[in-house]
Each structure stands twice: as structure tokens, then as C-alpha cells.
């Protein structure tokens, strides 16, 4: 006695051929979207990393400027003190 082939008996997968092809196509599309998303995230990561490096460089530059201003302030302070001493000596 032979049994009739059922709806889900195609190719031993349990899925009809059309449904199997649709599933594979959808899976392929999901993989494609995943790859595109991964690439976009990689590009965004690279852009943000570059921005971080630029900001770090700017921060270092500003720190150097602050140190230069502190040094200049100390120099000016010493100059003012020297001038004040000279003024005090003149008054004597």
C-alpha cells in the first residue's frame, strides 16, 4: 500500500517548495539588512572615533594654552612686584 504524498512531504524538509524558497529569500534579506546595519554602525563608530580624537587634540591644545597663560601670569606678577619695589624705593 503506497501512501499519497502530503502537502509537507516535499524534499524531505517538511515545507512545500514555494514556502521553503520564500523562507530562504526572507532569511537572505534579513542577512543583507544585518550586514548593511553592521556596516553603517562600523562607519558611525569610525566617525565618532575620529571626532573623539579631534576633541582630545583640542583639549590638549587648550591645556597647553592654559599652562602658557599661567606662566605668563606669573611673569607679569613678578614684573609688577618688581615695579612696586622700585616705586617704594623712589618714595624713600
Instruction: Decide if 5 is inside a domain.
Output: no
Instruction: Decide if 6 is inside a domain.
Output: no
pLDDT at 67 over 70: yes
Q: What number of other Cβ atoms are within 10 A of residue 4's Cβ?
A: 5
Instruction: Decide if 54 is inside a domain.
Output: yes
Q: Can you tell me the mean pLDDT for 56-71?
A: 98
* Predicted local confidence at residue 21, as pLDDT: 75
The grid cell for 69 is: 597663560
Separation of alpha carbons 92 and 81, rounded Å: 17
* Predicted local confidence at residue 15, as pLDDT: 53
Could you identify the residue written with the cell 617704594? 88
Separation of alpha carbons 64 and 11, rounded Å: 73
What is the tens place of the pLDDT at every residue in 25-57?
Answer: 888 899 999 999 999 999 999 999 999 999 999
Task: Look at the chain and report how many structural domains it folds into.
Answer: 1
pTM for this model (two decimals): 0.57
* Predicted local confidence at residue 63, as pLDDT: 98
Residue 72: which domain range?
14-91
The grid cell for 74 is: 606669573
Amino acid at each position: 500500500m503506497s501512501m499519497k504524498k502530503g502537502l509537507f512531504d516535499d524534499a524531505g524538509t517538511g515545507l512545500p517548495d514555494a514556502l521553503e524558497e520564500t523562507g530562504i529569500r526572507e532569511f537572505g534579506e534579513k542577512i543583507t539588512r544585518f550586514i548593511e546595519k553592521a556596516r553603517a554602525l562600523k562607519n558611525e563608530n569610525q566617525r565618532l572615533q575620529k571626532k573623539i580624537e579631534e576633541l582630545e587634540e583640542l583639549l590638549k591644545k587648550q591645556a597647553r594654552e592654559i599652562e602658557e597663560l599661567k606662566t605668563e601670569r606669573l611673569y607679569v606678577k613678578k614684573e609688577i612686584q618688581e615695579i612696586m619695589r622700585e616705586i617704594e624705593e623712589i618714595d624713600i
